[in-house]
Structure 1
Amino acid sequence: MQRAVLCGYYGMGNGGDEALLASLLQMLPSHVQPLVLSANPKATEKLHQVESCDRYSVRSLLRAFKRSDAFIWGGGSLMQDATSARNPIYYGGLMGLARGMGLNTVAWAQGIGPLHRPFSRWITKLAFNACDRITVRDSGSAQLLADWQIPCIMAPDPVWALKAEPTPQLLSLPSPRIAVMLRSHPLLTNAKLTCSIEALKYLQAATDAYILLVPFQPSKDEEIARQIHASLPTKSAIIVQDNPRLLKGIFQGVEMAIAMRFHGLIMAAAEGCRCSAISYDPKVTRLMSDLGIQGWELAELPDRPDAIGREWVEQFANREPLSSAQIKSLVDRALIHTQVLAEL
């Protein structure tokens, strides 16, 4: 039995990152025992049924590394400086420490960037050079590593392959249903949010659909969900779900999803929903392009509710979801990420 330290944006209450951890645990070989670095170890242990330790405690980190054989950067955009310049330093530092302590190092399902600062790019290149094996989830990350002459394997995001479970909360709610996943962002101004809420009213009136408001990270998303619910009090509901399999299962009972959240789009598309996107990040824009998802860049969101609403109604009525063959192909290719884990 080998022990592997799993490192990612875990225990932060972000449904997408918890889904990445659940996918990693699902794909991890049976001979590998995980030890998860988390901002909330007790919550991680309860949710995922794994051993966990405090990602902020130097003593806990050193103890975990000394007890382990491998270090795995879990999936997602860890090496980026758009949210904080500290991210590359923290994650790159842990990769360097793991390498220095002789652990087998794996960068798994990475989405690299944005990297706005020269120092961030330098430490990211250094960190990936320290990896024994690398998989990435998009062509932009693969191209960056190719430019640095660092070999990697590319496959779709692992959450495509996460096994969903039906969500009991939906049974008592009217149908058809439209899921909405907005998040706070400097470009989502009060004016744009008000416009979007009016557009949702237009969409709901035209389709008679029930609106499911799904905060992927409640600390950043729930206030927006509450504002929308206040405008559609009898025609919407807020669903907070921390279990990633049940979170993905929500979309088994949804006709259409409107999302800013990257993994919200993946979960919805994987469960056969029509999708519309509002992109705040290059990773969302790339996903829109790869899957042919319609929508807008957040900065270019129309300022007329009827323009947004008419587009959403058109997508609801006429836009086809991914075919079962397309979904199967994406799921099968996402399982390529298991290859580097099998070699541990």
Structure 2
Amino acid sequence: MGASLRPDAQNQPEVKRVVISGYYGFRNSGDEAVLKSILFALEEEARQQGVRIEPVVLSIDPAWTTQMYGVEAVHRMRLAEVIRAIRSSDGLISGGGSLLQDATGALTIPYYTGVLKLAQLLRKPTFIYAQGIGPVNRRWMDPLIRGVMRRSAYVSVRDAESAALLGRIGVSAERIDIVPDPVMGLPLPEGMAAGSNSSVSDESAAPVIGVSLRHWRKDGADLTRAAEALRALARSRAVRLRFLPFHTPSDVESSRLVMEQLGELGPGSSAEIASPGDDPQHMLKAVSECDVLFGMRLHALIYAANQSVPMLGLSYDPKIDQFLKRVGLTAIGTTEQLNPDMFVAEVGRLLDRREEWLSTHKAAIEQLKQEARRPAKQIASLLRHNK
């Protein structure tokens, strides 16, 4: 490979430049957490294998990405820059996140498969990193996905449903590695201790209920139902509702809309919007400080699992149900229905019998954490042996 640097006399590790393609630079906390998790895992696994990986991130805001992560970045929509980055690399990683789906529009799949195809045309190995595949409603996109997947050196997806969809498209099951979302392996920031949930740090304080909501239904009925459930909870016992905006400014607007609908809360209850900033690890820390998390955002639930915070998922997309299933859970409701009485009872159970929840789900969570590093391990090994 043209960009490889051979070890020198001092036995320095071999350097491999790797382009990383994904939904980066948009300041969506979930996708930024995916990037940070991939960067962290690649660095750790490469070090263990005697290789040094130099990432080059395709970002909508390269300056911000470089400032945030300390890595080289180029503009994802400037073709000449993308070609130059790939040409000077040793390979390209696509992922993670839900990149290959057409729910958000007809241009998403052609863009991400186009970047993969470009790397393959430039004879660079390509790697699919823990992607969530689908939904794919436009059948003319199947060949785009099938072509790049069949030519990739390594393919990993984040759930069995994504693997099944690739199988229906025509990708051999033997080529597909099913792994957890990369964020399951994201550590807390250095110097910040885990286990600082409010119930642990202050016995007299009302428990913190993390709330991660997003706008989904056009009529807002899903958020209204969430407000009804949260209002019922805050009137049944003293709680601190802490809204966690994973995508700004849209989640801030959704949170404010729900807070406006809460009305009068019960004695000792309160509601607030957290501002952990853009760093995904700071949001992970904010989630770790919750006693229970109620979430629509996939990565809010993944953060909770990462930090062993009991969770309730509100499903708006199959990916929510798929992740909850891997932890041994089912959603408390959907964007179509949410029973306030059932919600209050379940939150109460999680608060009052926390250790029981942890005991039940600990093994599944630990397994997901360990498996989350497998793509980085495989990619580092393939790069090391690809001279």
TM score, norm. by length of structure 2: 0.81
Give the counterpart letter for 2:235 in structure 1: A
Equivalent-residue separation in structure 2 for 1:61 and 1:36 (angstroms) = 10
Give 1:104 deviation, angstroms: 1.4
Task: Return closer, same or farther for 1:35/1:337 CA change in 2, 3 Å cut-off.
Answer: same
1:123 aligns with 2:144: yes
Q: Which shifted more, 8-17 or 141-150?
A: 141-150
1:269 aligns with 2:305: yes
Match of 1:156 in 2: 180
Match of 1:20 in 2: 34
Match of 1:295 in 2: 331
Find the residue that maps to 2:331 and give its secondary structure: strand
Give 1:316 deviation, angstroms: 3.9
Match of 1:178 in 2: 209
Give 1:307 deviation, angstroms: 5.0
Of the three residues 191, 202, 208, the one matched with 2:238 is 208
Match of 2:93 in 1: 72
Of the three residues 295, 313, 316, the one matched with 2:348 is 313
Match of 1:239 in 2: 274
Give the counterpart letter for 2:246 in structure 1: F
Give the counterpart letter for 2:185 in structure 1: A
Cα deviation digits, residues 55-75 of structure 1 (max 9, x gap): 111121122122212111021
Q: Which shifted more, 97-106 or 204-213?
A: 204-213
Higher gyration radius (CA): 2
Match of 1:92 in 2: 113
Equivalent-residue separation in structure 1 for 2:139 and 2:167 (angstroms) = 18
Check conservation: 2:55, 2:72, Cα contact below 8 A: yes
Equivalent-residue separation in structure 2 for 1:21 and 1:175 (angstroms) = 34
Give 1:120 deviation, angstroms: 2.0
Equivalent-residue separation in structure 2 for 1:255 and 1:180 (angstroms) = 11
Aligned residues: 342
Give 1:336 deviation, angstroms: 1.4
Cα deviation digits, residues 155-176 of structure 1 (max 9, x gap): 1111111112349999999541
Give the counterpart letter for 2:72 in structure 1: E
Aligned pairs for 1:194-233 (under 5 A) are 194-230=224-260, 231=262
Equivalent-residue separation in structure 2 for 1:77 and 1:126 (angstroms) = 18
Find the residue that maps to 1:218 and give its secondary structure: coil
Give 1:108 deviation, angstroms: 0.9
Check conservation: 1:182, 1:259, Cα contact below 8 A: yes
Gaps of 5+ in 2: 1-14
Check conservation: 1:95, 1:130, Cα contact below 8 A: no
Give 1:91 deviation, angstroms: 0.4
Equivalent-residue separation in structure 2 for 1:152 and 1:133 (angstroms) = 8
Give 1:296 deviation, angstroms: 4.2
Give the counterpart letter for 1:142 in structure 2: A
Cα deviation digits, residues 209-250 of structure 1 (max 9, x gap): 111100111132110112234447971221233111121122
Of the three residues 113, 122, 135, the one matched with 1:114 is 135
Give 1:36 deviation, angstroms: 0.3
Equivalent-residue separation in structure 2 for 1:191 and 1:183 (angstroms) = 12
Equivalent-residue separation in structure 1 for 2:69 and 2:182 (angstroms) = 17
Of the three residues 222, 242, 248, the one matched with 2:284 is 248
Match of 2:22 in 1: 8
Equivalent-residue separation in structure 1 for 2:221 and 2:131 (angstroms) = 34
Check conservation: 1:107, 1:134, Cα contact below 8 A: yes
Give 1:51 deviation, angstroms: 0.9
Of the three residues 189, 212, 221, the one matched with 1:191 is 221
Find the residue that maps to 1:74 and give its secondary structure: strand
Cα deviation digits, residues 177-224 of structure 1 (max 9, x gap): 01000111126x333322321221221232311111001111321101
Find the residue that maps to 1:212 and give its secondary structure: strand
Find the residue that maps to 1:9 and give its secondary structure: coil
TM score, norm. by length of structure 1: 0.91
Of the three residues 378, 382, 385, the one matched with 1:340 is 378
Match of 2:293 in 1: 257
Find the residue that maps to 1:183 and give its secondary structure: coil
Give 1:309 deviation, angstroms: 3.6
Q: Which shifted more, 203-212 or 45-54?
A: 203-212
Give 1:323 deviation, angstroms: 4.2
Give 1:26 deviation, angstroms: 0.7
Find the residue that maps to 1:124 and give its secondary structure: helix
Give the counterpart letter for 1:15 in structure 2: S
Equivalent-residue separation in structure 1 for 2:206 and 2:284 (angstroms) = 18
Task: Return closer, same or farther for 1:67/1:220 CA change in 2, 3 Å cut-off.
Answer: same
Equivalent-residue separation in structure 2 for 1:292 and 1:116 (angstroms) = 29
Equivalent-residue separation in structure 2 for 1:194 and 1:96 (angstroms) = 44
Gaps of 5+ in 1: none
Check conservation: 2:332, 2:343, Cα contact below 8 A: no
Give 1:311 deviation, angstroms: 4.3
Same amino acid, percent of matched pairs: 32
Find the residue that maps to 1:75 and give its secondary structure: strand
Q: Which shifted more, 199-208 or 110-119?
A: 199-208
Task: Return closer, same or farther for 1:223/1:152 CA change in 2, 3 Å cut-off.
Answer: same
